[in-house]
Chain A
Amino acid sequence: MVYSKRVDGRKIDELRPMEAKAGVVKNANGSASFKIGKTWAIAGVYGPREVVPRFMANPRHGILRCHYTMMPFSGSGERIKPGRSRRAQEISMVMEQSLAPVVDLSAFPNSVVDIFVELPQTDAGTRCAAISAACIALADAGIPMKDMISSVAVGQVDGMVVADLNYNEEAYPAIVSDIPVAMLHNTKEITLLQMDGEISKADLIKALELAKVATEKVYQLQVKALKEKYALENNEGKNDSQ
């Protein structure tokens, strides 16, 4: 029984419907909402601001700190008890590592840029949605970045290499591999790579090539969210390229 058609009918490179908006948390310096299928992440950026606790400050450049939180009612089953779970800690850390390579905080020594991501509902691909939202929020805050980071999960379900697995695919009763990936837009270099499941090397490379296409789709949406915020009333300034 080979997986030949995706449970929700999507093509192998088709992502779930996405929505993104910049500037959704008024108090934050930058913010964004990013939805992919039923997974929804809201990111708020504060900073550069003073580092607390002080010992974490870096005298050469500012630091990035991510805080990933699933709202107690956002899990697909029982309530999630509030508080820092180990999963949330790990995700916060890989988020930092996926965004730090593009962020330039050299002009802000001894400071921190805090990124808070709250998820009101989830259905697989949560860390990817969090990273994609966080990137929009960082740009919205005017933080210098050499490129945007776009993130989506790729993988294979029973032999079929696919992009953006939903919960049913992650839980499919066969050999599954769920690979969250984050990529720089210009160079397609990878800043987040994790995996749950099993995969052959050949399929892994295939999946990462698919990730180039999949993350590009996320990128288009991130750019749209940022530019829409500053959408002009008449046609002046509209980009005709890209």
Chain B
Amino acid sequence: MIVNKETIAELAKENKRLDNRSLTEFRQPILINTNISWTAEGSARVQIGETVVMAGVKLSIEKPYNDTSDEGGIMVNAELSPIASPEFETGPPGIKAVELARVVDRGIREAKAIDLKKLCITPGEKAWFVIVDIIALNDGGNLLDVAGLAALAALKTAKFPVVDPATGAIDYKQKTDKSLPLTKEPLPITIYKVNGVLMVDPTNEEEKAYEARLTVGSDAKGTISALQKGGDVPLSIEEIGKMVDLALEKASFLRKELTKALKM
């Protein structure tokens, strides 16, 4: 669907949206499947509305960095593959992918969601390094939030691979039943300001009509672990307060969806 931005802005002022959702409602369906890739140590496919993202966790054993010799590491990477949208190009990640990856990464890293010290095997010599790769499969809007949820689902269900005690080699074909030392469940939610009103989970067209947006990463306790403002229009402190409140509320909603999905 393509629309004049004015229509979206006008509708927003009346608390209306193109698909009749409320401004703070997520699209349906919300589908969360984990362990979708047998080659990944942890993986998930998340769909919200028509946006589909896959995330996979790979673990490796490396030498720790010099300044954190008793810690492992975590990194988040994102690929906005051209399969997901006619607007994505081939080649190295563009700025949208880089921003998405870094914001999701900060939400996980700054929340200290993974106890990096528990990833250490031998200080100064060996530690586990976790890499989360996020692949967009269909951009229907709000990729960042969907990607954050997929990354969390993949991390939650990831298992360490078996390590040969004699050689120290990893046998990727066998998994232990040991999970990652995940102490928190960070989730990013992006709030969009459209024509003065706040909106959640935009479609592609709605994304094009925003004035400003704020991504808020938070954990289950409501502690904020990441912030990213986007868009040309400034935000007042009051607006930011409202956006944070809304983001925390929605993060809680998605966390419940994740818990439901993992129980099944």
Contact = CB atoms under 8 A, between A and B. Distances in A.
Q: Do chains A and B touch in the complex (CB under 8 A)?
A: yes
Interface of A: 25-28, 31, 38, 40, 42-44, 46, 49, 67, 69, 71-79, 82-83, 114, 116-118, 120-123
Interface in B46-80: 50, 52, 54, 56-58, 60, 77, 79
Interface in B71-111: 77, 79, 81-86, 90, 92
B82 A74 contact: no
A67 B57 CA distance: 23
A121 B39 CA distance: 6
A83 B91 CA distance: 7
Contacts of A42: 83, 137
Contact of B86 (A46, A73, A118): A46
A156 B196 CA distance: 67
Given A25-B83, A44-B83, A49-B86, A71 B138 contact: no
A25 B137 contact: yes
Contacts of A83: 92
19 contacts: A27-B84, A28-B83, A42-B137, A67-B90, A73-B43, A73-B57, A74-B39, A78-B172, A79-B58, A79-B133, A82-B133, A117-B83, A118-B81, A118-B137, A120-B36, A120-B54, A121-B38, A123-B38, A123-B39
A77 B172 contact: yes
Contacts of B60: 78-79
Contact of A26 (B38, B50, B173): B50
B40 interface: yes
A82 B81 CA distance: 11
Contact of B37 (A25, A43, A73): A73
Given A25-B138, A38-B38, A73 B81 contact: no
B140 interface: yes
Contacts of B137: 25, 42, 118
A46 B88 CA distance: 11
A118 B133 CA distance: 13
A122 B79 contact: no
Given A25-B137, A122-B39, A76 B172 contact: yes
B39 A76 contact: yes
Interface in B12-53: 36-41, 43, 50, 52
B131 interface: yes
Q: Looking at A27, A82, A121, A122, which has the most chain B CB atoms within 10 Å of its CB?
A: A27
B133 A71 contact: yes
Contacts of B86: 27, 46, 49
Contacts of B135: 71, 118, 120
